[in-house]
Structure 1
Amino acid sequence: GEEGSLEAYLKLPKNATVLSAQVELSCERRREPFITYTYQGFTGNERGGFSLAVGDVNGDGWTDFLVGSPDYGVVYRNGRAQLFFGGSRIDLTPDLTLLGSMGEMLGYGALICSFDSDRYDDLVVSAPSRTGSTYGTVKCYRGSISPSTTPTFTFREEEMGSGFGLSVATGDFNSDGYDDVAVGAPDYDGNSTNRGAIYIYLGGISPDSSPDLRVAGEAGDRYGISLTAGDFDGDGYDDLAILGSEEACVLFGNTTLNSNLSVVYNLSSAGITGYNIKCLGDINGDGYDDVGMNTGGVVLIVWGADRTTLLNSPSSTILPVPRGASSQFGTSMTPLGDFDRDGLNDFAVGDPGAGGGYGRVYVYRGVSGTATPALYKTLQAQLPYQALGRSLAAADFLRDGWVDIVAGGDMYSGAPMGNGSFTIFEHRDLSDLGDNRPELFLGGITDPLYSNPSVLNTTVVVSGWEDKLNTVLNQLPPMQTDSYGNSFVTLLLRLEAHSEGLYRLANLSIIYDMEREIDATRRVRSVLENPSTPSDPYGYVHIASNVVAESPGGVNITVTNLTLDTRPWLIEEIPDLELEEDGYSSTLLNLRDYFKDDRSPFEELNFTVKTLLNATRGRLFVTEEGYLGADLQNGSENDNWYGNITAYIVCTDPGGLKVTSNIFTLHVYPVNDPPYVFRSPPAYIDEDEQFTFGYYYEDVEGDPVTVRLVEGPENMTIDENGTLYWTPTNWDVGPHNITVELSDGKGSSLHTFHITVNNTEDAPVIISSPPTIAYVGHTYYYNVTAYDIDLGDVLTYFLYESPPGMKIDSQGRITYLPTYKDVGDYEVIIGVSDGIVEVRQNYTLKVRVFNLPPEVESPGRVTAWDLKTLRLQINATDPNLGDQLRFTLTEGPEGMEIDTYTGVITWTPTPDQLGVHNVTVVVTDGQVNVTVTFQVEVERTPREFTLKVTEPREGETISGVFYVKGSATVTPGEVEKVEVRVDGGEWKVANGTAPFRLRLDAKFLEAGPHLIEVRCTDGYVYSNITAVNITVRHPQKKSPLIYVGVVAAAAAAGAGGFLFFRRFMEKKKEEEERRRREEEAMRFKEELERDRERIMRGEILERG
């Protein structure tokens, strides 16, 4: 791995001589690929970790990270964002807190980007204000060594309630070297409904808060649900991907931006809904950034390509859903760079609903081409119900060459909303670690104090480096001097290693010798000048010395020098000065030009001003910087006074020697005086009572006065006579600053006073809902959130009834660690009091053995065919051995069923059920329910028709009545009807299907060739046509002359002949009657066959 170091600093006296030096060095190799750091400092259900961003805000080369909490101040949802500075170690102490105003929801979205021209990254935090009463904003805070909590720019919502700031993104869209900011407002209406709008603010040398481009959609588009930036077409400009309700669009970057949006993916035609979109970086190494899109538990990857391909035939891949993932898979995504160091960029996907709300983060490897990315690592939640993966970001926080991941979990604490948390996964591939071979260096010395070619996995004592310490002490100048005059040198002790592990320096021991010269002038002089100091018989004064040291050693004191000090002197006389009446100046005269001392620098001289004439009219003083100043503003005797003040200055050196200046004059000259107020309003008033106050003011010169209210509470007014009117409400309880300006046309004055609105007592209100289940071995937390509309009331929390061991602290935080013997139900009664009025909250707490939720695998998108039975196994396991899983189908198409115990879904779609169907299955172990939602798409099954015509035969000659017969079947399903037509005429329905028959009469057809066509259908699809060619031939008709001949023959034959004729006619009549009956029987049979077919189709009831 890359080199790392550990530094320690040694502070030694400059003139010391080191006698011995040693330190203990120990090493221990790292054992885990991920080291986790979890922050739990969020409170009050603020949903900390809802948003994340990374960048270098203070310009120190280490990556910092920003964490948003949009529900901070849960009553009003003010929101906040906290900045954590990076460094050589992970530090979870926030370094900067940005607070939102009432209802702002500051921290809903977060970015860190270089918006202006300095070398610092800037903070961009959105506050969409979903309360409906204020406008949404996006605030930009300029980066610096010590960033300010006051925004430099504020981007403001155009239309209240448009969701301005629900999505934010950053990229260099015009490729000018400065990051630009895009803000989404998906609920923007304009001249229609739900158009959605995108606002782009261009960064630069002098950016401002006005949008440089606004792009709005059409009615119902809701552009701006989610935004992300990347170079998707590889032209060197960052592009902006925009997610709407029906489509995903791209605003392509260019030197000059325009409002043309290009649709890349049509969601509505695909039957899906988009929830989140994120640039994943170039994960297949083709030079184009790729995009991940969350479509409701399924992540779709749209591969970047040249612009023509993107607009006409974009490629996409569905990301495999991991086992145990929830419908929230894809809530967050982030690029990771080359996380596994295989040459391809990787990415991570968050699933805050996995594990029944614990949450997980899935790391996927990059691929070549458009192959499906494979799952590489799974990062687990570190807290119960953490909702890990609500937000994601990544950076090399420790600068060790390995990308680390930070994941937000905004639901931790078990409350309905959650305090929130975040976890940093410090990453390192252990196979890359080398052996522990550390080296210890002393700053300024090239050769190491310790260096060993063998592996070190123990503790060694590094000693014998006192000579090297003495060399460095002699070479370096003094770096620090304390109040006693001791000079010190700071030395660097540096431990370097070529592999990651735990390295410690301990038990440092340095023994040294030194000499120190001490200036005892002041102390000796004070003793000598003290009249009570005794002397010996020879006139000498004996002065005792006391030396204190923090370490043992011998001390020798020697007096080496005694010198004489003289008094300060006046370089030149103090001149006369002037100042306007009621004036103030702290720089009237620089005394450095007038006083000097032989031994002491000017900063050590002491000055006193003595006033002779008109001392009560003003105050003369000397500043720490050595200037003479005058104050004619404060005091009761100098108002509007002008005249002369005389004074002189006394200068005293550190030895007590003095010099007095000449007497000088301060001339005070008159100026115009603005009006002034000589009556103030009352300091306290009661809420809901009308406050009226008339000002009493005066102008010394008698000029007319105008009055204006400069600062005051909302709804306070002032009339032309200077009378204030205001009726405070309960929301106004507390102190207020009021400022009124009075002007005489030549000058003005501000009159500021303070009014405190007294409160009438109101009862506290508990707004939080308690978790009602506690698990054995897991600490139960409940933050009782209450507020009192009476500002300033301090709330006290009590437990009146509770299970043994439950505690509540002064902030209302309940903690309880149940054991197995505590399993059962308990009544809990909480009391909250403001000292006068108390409210209570009752609930039943169920103590249970902790149950892990089932792990359910989503089948993804499933294809089924009409008339074919679908059998689909829902795969689920339960970590708690012995738990019996139950499966319930809560959403699905008609006819679909699921086996309660096996989880097997069976369904035979009808031809009317083509299309996409949503399916929802709930899997429970009796305590925890896990829901999996997927889609089943029904497509038409290809039909296989079998149609045979048995009569008439091909080429058959037909005369008279004939039948078209045959058989028709279809797989799958059944034939609904068979149709026949002659010579392309009207289709007629035959009787039956298998077999079928249709009676035709050739007498209605002309003699000659004819084409008979037959087809069948199942009611949805027709078969191919089967054709038969026939020839119709009509028999010749018998001539009436035949009958005449028969009659004539009978007449010629006499009686016998007539008898023959009679029999001939009777036989002819019988033949006609027989044919009539056959035809009637055939018609009845055909009608009976049709009724049987209709009965089978359920059209009529069967007749007996």
Structure 2
Amino acid sequence: MRRSTASVSVLAVLAGLAIGVPAQAAEGVQTITRDGVVIAHHRVAKPSTPMRGFGGTRSDFDGDGVDDVAATADPSNYNGLPYPAMGVVSVRYSSAPQVDYFIGLMSQSDSGCSCFGMALVAGDFNGDRYDDLAIGDPDEVDPGNKAHGGGVWIIPGSKAGLVPNSAIHFNQSSAGVPDVAETWDRFGAALAAGDINGDARDDLAIGAYGESVGSKADAGAVTVLFGGPAGLTATGAQHLHQDLAAVPGAAENNDQFGYSLAIGKVDSNRYQDLVIGAPRENDGVSWNGTGMVTLMWGGPGGVSTTGATSVTGAAVAPATGDANTIAWYLGDVLAIGDVNGDGLGEVVAGAPGAQTPHINGGLVAVFTGRTAGLSAGAVRIFTQRTAGVPGDPEDDDRFGGTLAVGDVTRDGKADVLIGVPGEGIGSQAEAGMVVLLKGSAAGLTGTGAQGFDQNHAVVPDTAERGDKFGASVALLNLDGTGGMDALVGSVGEEVSGDLAGYPSGTLVPFHGVPLPGAPGALTPANTSWSGLTLRTEVIWPQRYGLRIAGPQSGGPLF
């Protein structure tokens, strides 16, 4: 959704997004059935003051120019549902006077994981200027053949917020969707939204990293559905895998092509481009790096069948400058943004399992935007050993485990927010931290980088073992002033009222460029939102913030 309206104060917006324990349920619990699959919707009224903001937005479901916050949690203490809960996505609005809960349900005859919401993206799929919410459930059961193949739900936006009764659903048994549903396909495990065919409506890329290609198990595949006046449609859907001539590489066992996805403008034409991660490419074969990132161009017919390029983890080894720094599982996480302001988008790839030389120390590779596509000769590698990058490099830090890209400093160049969920703070293992690297005319740089953990002044709470601060990150327009603000998930955070070992989890907001004339930076907002504050008589979200809706979603869970 894109529109220009009047600005609104930061405090007013944060007050609008925050809620206490809901006092009443509106209409109780509603079930929504599509294609024989059932989810639940629970709506709770809350006081609200209409907001107006300006600038770009990424998850503005109610169209007020301020982003709303959709986040995934584990379900706990659920009551009044027809079947056990298998994941919950809560939506806090800046203007709409309610909080919405979408709850995945397990049918009476099946068992599975709490996977509903394990991918979560926002995009305007019908072109009405209200963002819609796409929810992936990679363990969803196909009612026809009982396969745990996965599925995706789309909830359209409106002035009143998301419209549950207009939900649509896709799985690999849906008419027009390529292939068939099979157990462990993991269809919906990764999602990315963007306008690939240039029609001013977002399209949706869906990863199925467990898809078999011929006899190659877990080779992986990607399905692209295109937006239209009525929203996403399977008409003209594209199916991509590595045994197609247009796609670099070859399908092999356990490549996991489609494990991560991103859509954005890499070249300067009107079409956004698709980037696909296959982090297990060459696993067990190459000794100087594994994983592959593939760039496929957008065009009027969708994803182009020509010009695709790819780079492997082994190919970036010379750019690390250190024989003991090895990019294992390159492409676990992906994002796109123009970090040098030249109009060409950089592809940002996380490898949290990289050796730096610390085991699972993690690295981030930034591929320079080029009209010729990806190149191992046009990449810069960042680790916690890079000059200016905050944090102490240690085993299992998992630097690059989560990524978000956007212009925080409002200088016309994208910045990169990096989660380091395994970072030890003092003696507290896996307390976690985040790092903001800033864009510049020379590209992404460690100069002026910022690092935050929960022992930082004004950041709520304190760093504790297993908090995993940085397990999810997002850059959204939370204050309506046009620049990007940050949300950081701390999924292991226990708050007062939790049972020991059952963390509610928190989201912590940060302001981008908080005051006129201040240097471009993030500043903690001195508040947080927990799963406990979202508890109702129906459900208690725990490990709140596992995913946060933005342009892309997928990758490791921490």
- Bucket of the pairwise TM-score, normalised by the shorter protein: 0.5 to 0.7
Query: Does residue 293 in structure 1 map to residue 276 in structure 2?
Result: yes
Residue 365 to residue 790, structure 1, CA distance change in 2 (3 Å): closer
CA distance in structure 1 between the aligned counterparts of 2:94 and 2:66, rounded to whole angstroms: 5
TM-score (norm 1): 0.28
Q: 2:381 is paired with a residue of what secondary structure?
A: strand
CA RMSD of aligned residues (A): 4.3
In structure 1, the partner of 2:102 is: 155
Distance 1:790 1:428, change over 3 A: closer
Q: How many residues in Structure 1 have an aligned counterpart in Structure 2? A: 346
**What is residue 295 of structure 2 aligned with on the other side?**
302
Aligned equivalents of 1:290, 1:302: Cα separation in 2: 7
In structure 2, relative to structure 1, the CA distance for the partners of 1:786 and 1:421 (3 Å cut) is closer
**SS at structure 1 position matched to 2:121:** strand
- Corresponding position: 1:252 with 2:234: no
Q: Does 1:276 align with 2:259?
A: yes
Q: 1:554-606: per-residue Cα shift (whole Å, max 9, x none)?
A: xxxxxxxxxxxxxxxxxxxxxxxxxxxxxxxxxxxxxxxxxxxxxxxxxxxxx
Once the two structures are superposed, the pairs formed by residues 709-748 of structure 1 within 5 Å of their partners are none
**Structure with greater contact order relative to length (CA < 8 Å, sep ≥ 6):** 2
Residues 62 and 397 in structure 1, CA contact (< 8 A), matched pair in contact too: no
Tell me by how many angstroms 1:376 deviates: 4.4
Counterparts of 1:126 and 1:791 in 2: how far apart (Å)? 20
Return the offset for 1:400: 3.0
1:194 is matched with which residue?
148
Shift of 1:344: 1.6
In structure 2, relative to structure 1, the CA distance for the partners of 1:333 and 1:251 (3 Å cut) is same
Structure 1 SS opposite 2:142:
coil
**Distance in 1 between the 2:499 and 2:89 partners?**
29
Within-5 A mapping of 1:305-704: 305-306=298-299, 308=301, 310=303, 313-321=305-313, 322-323=316-317, 324-337=325-338, 339-354=339-354, 355=356, 356-370=359-373, 372=375, 374-381=377-384, 382-384=390-392, 385=394, 386-413=397-424, 418-429=430-441
The change in CA–CA distance for 1:263 and 1:130 in structure 2 (over 3 A counts) is farther
Aligned letter for 2:227? G
Deviation at residue 317 of structure 1 after TM alignment: 1.4
**Which residue does the alignment assign to 2:124?**
172
Q: List per-residue Cα deviations over 1:631-667 (Å, max 9, x = no partner).
A: xxxxxxxxxxxxxxxxxxxxxxxxxxxxxxxxxxxxx
Q: How far did 1:287 drift? A: 2.7
The separation in 2 between residues aligned to 1:334 and 1:288, in whole angstroms, is 16
| 1:216 partnered with 2:166 | no
Letter in 1 for 2:408: F
Question: Larger Rg: 1 or 2?
Answer: 1
Residue 239 of structure 2: aligned partner: 264
Q: 1:119 to 1:342 in 2, by over 3 A?
A: closer
1:138 aligns with 2:95: no
2:190 is aligned to 226
| Cα distance between partner residues in 2 of 1:63 and 1:282 | 30
Percentage identity across paired residues of the two chains: 22
**Distance in structure 2 (CA, Å) of the matches to 1:62 and 1:405:** 25
When residues 99 and 374 of structure 1 are mapped into structure 2, their CA distance, relative to the original with a 3 A threshold, is farther
Q: How far apart are the structure 2 equivalents of 1:157 and 1:393? A: 26
Q: Confirm or deny: 8 A CA contact 2:127 2:200 kept in the other structure.
A: yes
Shift of 1:199: 0.2
Provide the C-alpha distance between the structure 2 equivalents of 1:334 and 1:401, rounded to a whole number of angstroms.
Answer: 17
Distance across 2 between alignment mates of 1:365 and 1:400: 19
Deviations for 1:900-955, whole angstroms, at most 9, x for unmatched residues?
xxxxxxxxxxxxxxxxxxxxxxxxxxxxxxxxxxxxxxxxxxxxxxxxxxxxxxxx
- Alpha-carbon shift at residue 223 of structure 1 (Å): 1.1
CA contact (8 A) 1:279 1:289 kept: no
Cα separation, partners in 2 of 1:222 and 1:401, compared to 1, 3 Å: closer
Partners of 1:99 and 1:363 lie apart in 2 by 42
Aligned 8 A contact 2:242 2:251 in 1: yes
Please list every run of 5 or more consecutive structure 1 residues that lacks an aligned counterpart in the other structure. 1-54, 65-82, 86-94, 101-110, 432-499, 501-766, 770-784, 793-1104
For normalisation by structure 2, the TM-score amounts to 0.53
CA distance in 2, matches of 1:240, 1:428: 30
Task: For residues 155-207 of structure 1, give each alpha carbon's deviation from its aligned partner in whole angstroms, at most 9, with x where no partner exists.
Answer: 22143646110001111111111111100011011331122111001111233
The residue identity in structure 2 corresponding to 1:136 is G
Measured against aligned partners, the alpha-carbon deviations of 1:521-559 in whole angstroms (never above 9, x if no partner) come to: xxxxxxxxxxxxxxxxxxxxxxxxxxxxxxxxxxxxxxx
Corresponding residue for residue 203 of structure 2: 239
8 Å contact kept, 2:63–2:129: no
> How do residues 809-824 of structure 1 correspond to structure 2 at under 5 angstroms?
none
* Deviation at residue 248 of structure 1 after TM alignment: 0.6
- Structure 2 distance, partners of 1:341, 1:261, is 34
- Equivalences for residues 782-793 of structure 1 within 5 A: none
The one-letter amino acid of 2:149's match is R
Letter in 1 for 2:352: P
Cα distance change of structure 1 residues 62 and 367 upon mapping to structure 2, 3 Å threshold: farther
Structure 2 distance, partners of 1:252, 1:232, is: 8
Q: Following TM superposition, by how much is the alpha carbon of 1:260 offset from its aligned partner in structure 2, in angstroms?
A: 4.5
Supply the distance in 1 between the matched residues of 2:170 and 2:8 (Cα, whole angstroms): 36
Q: State the shift of 1:280 in Å.
A: 4.2
Q: How does 1:920-931 map to 2 (within 5 A)?
A: none
Q: Greater share of helix residues, 1 or 2?
A: 1
Pair 1:418–1:137, CA change in 2 (3 A): same
2:137 to 155, 180, 185: 185
CA distance in 2, matches of 1:417, 1:222: 31
Could you tell me which runs of 5 or more consecutive residues in structure 2 were left unpaired when the two chains were aligned: 23-56, 78-82, 108-112, 173-180, 212-220, 244-249, 280-289, 318-324, 385-389, 449-463, 467-492, 501-558
Q: Is the 8 A contact 1:154 1:209 kept in 2?
A: no
* Displacement of 1:130: 9.6
- Matched residue, 1:525: none
Aligned partner of 1:1009 in structure 2 is none
For 2:433 and 2:207, the matched residues in 1 are separated by 28
- How many angstroms apart in 1 are the aligned matches of 2:104 and 2:195? 28
SS at match of 1:189: coil
Equivalent residue of 2:303, what SS?
helix
Superposition deviation, residue 141 in structure 1:
0.5
Match of 2:408, SS?
coil
CA distance in 2, matches of 1:343, 1:249: 28
**Mapped contact 2:257–2:276 kept (Cα < 8 A):** yes
Q: For the structure 1 residues 84 and 396, does the alpha-carbon distance in structure 2 shift closer, same or farther, using more than 3 Å as the test?
A: farther
CA distance in 2, matches of 1:360, 1:317: 21
Deviation at 1:421, TM superposition (A): 1.2
- Whichever residue aligns with residue 258 of structure 1, its letter is T
Cα distance in 2 between the residues matched to 1:387 and 1:366: 25
Q: Are residues 370 and 98 of structure 1, via their aligned partners in 2, closer, same or farther at CA, if it must alter by over 3 Å? A: farther
Q: Distance in 1 between matches of 2:442 and 2:197?
A: 37
Counterpart of 2:526 in structure 1 is none
